[in-house]
């Protein structure tokens, strides 16, 4: 069984998993609500959306944004039962034990904590289109 540190290091090597970052708004949400509340949300979301043996819409039940836990689920490969099986050898078609759910929540919270320690992302600024640099400029 791998540690949280080992799991995060392995995820960092994945081109897909390593691209996930909390947005400015998600970071503000975490700061505003606090880690205790975010953990409660994670516990609830994992219990309702991932723990059942046959989750509703498995494979597409986790949005890519809208809540820090959703982003963390994708970043940690805890977004659906197929990913849990691929990354952590957790069999599909069985209910997740309380212990397994707790481990998933701990991994998600470790990812969020680490993400909150990173420098804040720069706000996205849309560049103005310079039509003189387009192929259609006459």
Q: What is the pLDDT along the chain (138 residues), one digit of tens a residue?
A: 689 999 999 999 999 999 999 999 999 999 999 999 999 999 999 999 999 999 888 888 898 888 999 999 999 999 999 999 999 999 999 999 999 999 999 999 999 999 999 987 666 665 555 555 555 444
Q: Is 110 exposed, middle or buried (0-12, 13-18, 19+ CB in 10 A)?
A: middle
> How many C-beta atoms lie closer than 10 Å to residue 69's C-beta?
25
pLDDT at 112: 98
> How many C-beta atoms lie closer than 10 Å to residue 35's C-beta?
14
Which residues are CB-neighbours of 61 under 8 A, at least 6 positions away?
49, 50, 55, 79, 80
Give the pLDDT confidence of 73-85 residue by residue, as tens digits: 999 999 999 999 9
Give the pLDDT confidence of 109-132 residue by residue, as tens digits: 999 999 999 987 666 665 555 555
**Residue 27 and residue 69 in contact, taking contact as beta carbons nearer than 8 Å:** no
Torsion angle, CA of 98/103/105/110, rounded to 10 degrees?
160
Using a cut of 0.75, tell me whether the model's pTM lies above it. Answer: yes
């Amino acid at each position: 069984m791998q540690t949280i540190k080992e799991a995060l290091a392995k995820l960092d090597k994945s081109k897909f998993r390593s691209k996930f970052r909390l947005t400015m708004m998600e970071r503000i949400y975490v700061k505003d609500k606090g880690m205790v509340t975010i953990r409660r949300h994670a516990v609830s979301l994992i219990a309702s959306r991932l723990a059942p043996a046959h989750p509703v819409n498995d494979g597409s039940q986790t949005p890519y944004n809208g809540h820090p836990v959703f982003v963390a689920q994708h970043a940690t490969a805890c977004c659906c039962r197929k990913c849990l099986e691929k990354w952590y050898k957790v069999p599909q078609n069985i209910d997740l034990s309380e212990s397994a759910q707790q481990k998933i929540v701990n991994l998600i919270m470790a990812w969020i904590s680490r993400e909150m320690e990173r420098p804040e992302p720069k706000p996205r600024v849309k560049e103005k289109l310079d039509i003189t640099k387009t192929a259609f400029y006459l």
